[in-house]
Amino acid sequence: MRGDWLSLLLLLPASAAASGYADLGKLEREAVDDALALRGLTLDPEPQGKIVATVRVVNLDVFLARERVPLVWANIFHRTTREHQIRRESLLQAADRYDQDLAEETTRKLQDRTLSSVVAVLPVKSATPGMVDVLIVTRDVWSLRLNENFEAQQNQLIYFTASLSENNFFGWRKFVAAVFTMDQGEMSFGPNYIDPNILGTRLQLQAAFYWIWARQIGEIAAGPQEGTSSFFHLEYPLWSLARRWGAYAEFRHFDGVIRRFLGTELRQIPLDGLPRNACDPLPSVAPDVPTVPWVYRLKTINTSEVVTRSFPRPAVIQRVSVGHELALVRPSFTSDFPYAQGSPEREQFSQEVFPLSERVSDLFLSYELFTPRYRVFRDLNTFDFRENVRFGPYLSLKAGRTFSWVGSQSDFSLFQTSVGLTKGAMGGLQSVGGTWEGRVVGGEVTDQLVRGRAILATPVLAGLLRVVAAGNLGLLFRNTRKRFFAVGGDTGPGGNESIPGDYQVDGDSGLRAYDSVLRGYPVGEFVGCGAQFVGHIEARSMALKLAFLRLGGLLFFDAGHAAADASRLAFYSDAGFGLRLLIPQLDTYSLRADWAFPLRPAPGMPAGWPGRMTFGFRQVF
């Protein structure tokens, strides 16, 4: 395979190999070739250190005639990104010295937003002798659209979201949408707005507001209106690795009803009056024991104000942040709870189900360290699109203290730490990491959450497939906040975890750290507030090009469980196969279809045939 790659390099012009053209994927090369021909440009073989004369931008149409897509006429309804919007976000500007590292960072920066399916930054020969021009090539994703994402299982729509949106408002790279989201228990609708660069100031704004209605269980029909939620985030980011100061302020609230499911039905809580630890698994319900569904009202408010000082160096970047956080959690009974105020049934339900009611206001100091080394993968999670993974070690430390004089109802200390290491030996990917968090209350350590994860990927084997494996383990100790793990069928973005923030990204490495999906079992099949593990192995094929489409397949094996403590963990597993379909003009994520067969029976699922089929977007892990 290495010999084939070297032979290919020898066939390329010297300028192409030197400028980074040879490192591009097929879709990127095709776009760069179009741009060079369109503007009559030539790659510069020796750009390093030259003064940049100008920054050229070529934004290609969504649909191209050479791809024989029967929608070229639709380009008239898409406003291609304005060139100046791209140019002002480049970290290389006129009069700067050309630096390949800055060219790569510009590519990552522009690619962070799902507005462009292709981004390439390359040096081209300048009309001014001794100088170099920078060429930025992008290709828009169709923006005026009805965006959709969904998760369907066993003839039930588990999760669905759709937005009537302009993802690239007037070509200004701003997102405006009316968003509808539906999960198993509720429906929500409201406006969203994202501005990644307010009036060229580098300030970023994200804002959303939703009205919430109950969903009639198992039906696509709305019940009564029962709450609202909102999100507001204003940030002056560390928009390049060389920046030294950043800050943000954030506010979010939720006022609605929480419902927990077992498969497609509400999970039931037996009210038998027996003392039971909140971490014990729910017992089998006898016919004469009354039950109530796992449903309660929850009000939360979260605010954050943070200032960050970065200390950039070529080999390592360190960042120190100070800030304030407020978290308010208030659970309560729904108005239709069948038992009266003061009844023992109410007391038992609240003891077993309600999260800890609290108001936490803390001041914190945090420290982050990572190495600014990146590597580009292709066909790891996507089909030929660039995937940026940060290599090297990662460390994060955070310590906070609550005070009554800043609004906390009690005084205690909070600690969090995260460590990780990512490498790329033998052309593959190896990443391990872990997190720990806890509270110190009255000299006692409580609410400890320990997580560990590993991700391994082989290089592309025989040009046909890549094997990818991932695993994670979670442990909770002295769980006074009644947080729990849930493992089972996917519920859409965010998975089944009820541990706040557990859909994590380790630094900005681009690696999803934790998931809780067992494709062969119903949603929430296994619940426990003490321990959890999940593992996956997938053999993912390379993409087969069918006209303008990309089609792939995979074989997979999943294993996992959740329990009250590590000693009660069992080994449940499934195996199956799936298909992936990518339409590059419409999205950078593939459409997913999986058919999984449980290898061990569970209370909600027999082993073997017929298994479970799921549909959605993106890879499962």
* Residue 40 burial (CB count, 10 A): 6
H/E stretch holding 9: helix 2-11
- Rounded CA gap, 132 and 45, in Å? 10
* High-pLDDT (> 90) share of the chain, %: 50
571-585 average pLDDT score: 90
**Could you tell me which residue, 41 or 27, shows the higher pLDDT?**
41
* Residue 381 burial (CB count, 10 A): 20
Q: How far is CA 167 from the centre of its chain?
A: 18
Amino acid letter, 198: I
* Residue 396 burial (CB count, 10 A): 19
Q: Which residues of 446-485 are buried (b: 16+ CB within 10 A; e: fewer)?
A: ebebebbbebebeebeeeebbbbbbbbbbbbeebebbbbb
**Could you tell me which residue, 513 or 232, shows the higher pLDDT?**
232
H/E stretch holding 116: strand 116-125
Using the predicted structure, report yes or no on whether residue 403 has a pLDDT greater than 60: yes
pLDDT on residue 168: 65
Residue 208 Cα distances to 114, 156, 194, 250, angstroms:
18, 28, 9, 12
- Rounded CA gap, 161 and 580, in Å? 20
H/E stretch holding 67: none
Copy the structure tokens of residue 586.
């419409």
Provide the mean pLDDT of the chain: 84
Q: In the chain, which residues fall in CATH 2.40.160?
A: 237-617
403-429 average pLDDT score: 93
Q: 480: closest CA among 309, 279, 285, 313?
A: 279
Instruction: Judge contact between 236 and 248, C-beta under 8 A.
Output: yes
Using the predicted structure, report yes or no on whether residue 7 has a pLDDT greater than 70: no
Helix segments in 450-601, DSSP class H: none
- Rounded CA gap, 526 and 540, in Å? 27
pLDDT in tens, 97-134: 999 999 999 988 887 655 566 788 999 999 999 999 99
How many residues in total does the chain contain?
621
Copy the structure tokens of residue 370.
């990572």
Using the predicted structure, report yes or no on whether residue 495 has a pLDDT greater than 50: no
**Could you tell me which residue, 165 or 429, shows the higher pLDDT?**
429
3-state class (DSSP) for residue 199: helix
Using the predicted structure, report yes or no on whether residue 276 has a pLDDT greater than 80: no
pLDDT on residue 25: 80
Cβ partners under 8 Å of residue 298, min gap 6: 254, 255, 256, 257, 258, 329, 330, 331, 332, 355
pLDDT on residue 238: 93
pLDDT band at 501 (very low <50, low <70, confident <90, very high): very low
DSSP strand pairing (549-563 vs 572-582): antiparallel
Using the predicted structure, report yes or no on whether residue 532 has a pLDDT greater than 60: yes
Using the predicted structure, report yes or no on whether residue 93 has a pLDDT greater than 80: yes
- Rounded CA gap, 116 and 475, in Å? 39
Kindly report each contact of residues 498-503 with a partner whose C-beta sits within 8 Å and lies 24 or more positions away, as own/partner.
499/449, 499/474, 502/451
**Lowest mean pLDDT, pick from 244-253, 550-559, 605-614:** 605-614
pLDDT band at 16 (very low <50, low <70, confident <90, very high): very low
- Rounded CA gap, 352 and 275, in Å? 10
Using the predicted structure, report yes or no on whether residue 8 has a pLDDT greater than 50: no
Q: Which residues of 201-223 are buried (b: 16+ CB within 10 A; e: fewer)?
A: ebebebebbbebbbbebeeeeee
DSSP strand pairing (465-477 vs 531-541): antiparallel
pLDDT on residue 72: 65
Q: 87: closest CA among 20, 173, 25, 18?
A: 173
Q: 119: closest CA among 65, 168, 169, 81?
A: 81
- Rounded CA gap, 273 and 289, in Å? 10
Using the predicted structure, report yes or no on whether residue 342 has a pLDDT greater than 60: yes
Q: In the chain, which residues fall in CATH 3.10.20.310?
A: 12-140
- Rounded CA gap, 46 and 18, in Å? 7
Cβ partners under 8 Å of residue 76, min gap 6: none
Q: Which CATH number fits domain 12-140: 3.10.20.310, 3.40.710.10, 3.40.50.11540, 1.10.40.60?
A: 3.10.20.310
Using the predicted structure, report yes or no on whether residue 228 has a pLDDT greater than 80: yes
Q: 18: closest CA among 47, 39, 41?
A: 47
pLDDT on residue 401: 96
**Lowest mean pLDDT, pick from 112-116, 260-264, 336-340, 575-579:** 112-116
pLDDT on residue 114: 54
Using the predicted structure, report yes or no on whether residue 274 has a pLDDT greater than 60: yes
Instruction: Judge contact between 491 and 151, C-beta under 8 A.
Output: yes
The CA R_g of the chain, rounded to the nearest whole Å, is 26
- Rounded CA gap, 106 and 112, in Å? 10
* Residue 97 burial (CB count, 10 A): 13
Copy the structure tokens of residue 404.
């009554």
pLDDT band at 75 (very low <50, low <70, confident <90, very high): low
271-299 average pLDDT score: 75
pLDDT band at 577 (very low <50, low <70, confident <90, very high): very high
Using the predicted structure, report yes or no on whether residue 395 has a pLDDT greater than 70: yes
Cβ partners under 8 Å of residue 59, min gap 6: 80, 81, 83, 86, 138, 139, 140
617-621 average pLDDT score: 81
Instruction: Judge contact between 588 and 611, C-beta under 8 A.
Output: no
pLDDT on residue 163: 74
- DSSP collapsed to 3 states, 127-175: CCCCEEEEEEEEEECCCEEEEEEEEEECCEEEEEEEEEEECCHHHCCCE
pLDDT on residue 171: 64
**Lowest mean pLDDT, pick from 199-208, 491-500, 573-582:** 491-500
CATH architecture for segment(s) 237-617: Beta Barrel (2.40)
Query: What distance, in Å, lies between the first and last C-alpha atoms of the chain?
Result: 28
436-458 average pLDDT score: 94
pLDDT on residue 620: 85
Kindly report each contact of residues 563-566 with a partner whose C-beta sits within 8 Å and lies 24 or more positions away, as own/partner.
563/281, 563/526, 563/528, 563/530, 563/531, 563/532, 564/277, 564/279, 564/280, 564/281, 564/528, 564/529, 564/530, 564/531, 565/279, 565/528, 565/530, 565/531, 566/475, 566/530, 566/531
230-245 average pLDDT score: 95
pLDDT in tens, 126-182: 999 999 999 999 877 665 555 666 666 667 777 787 777 666 666 667 788 888 988
**Could you tell me which residue, 510 or 46, shows the higher pLDDT?**
46
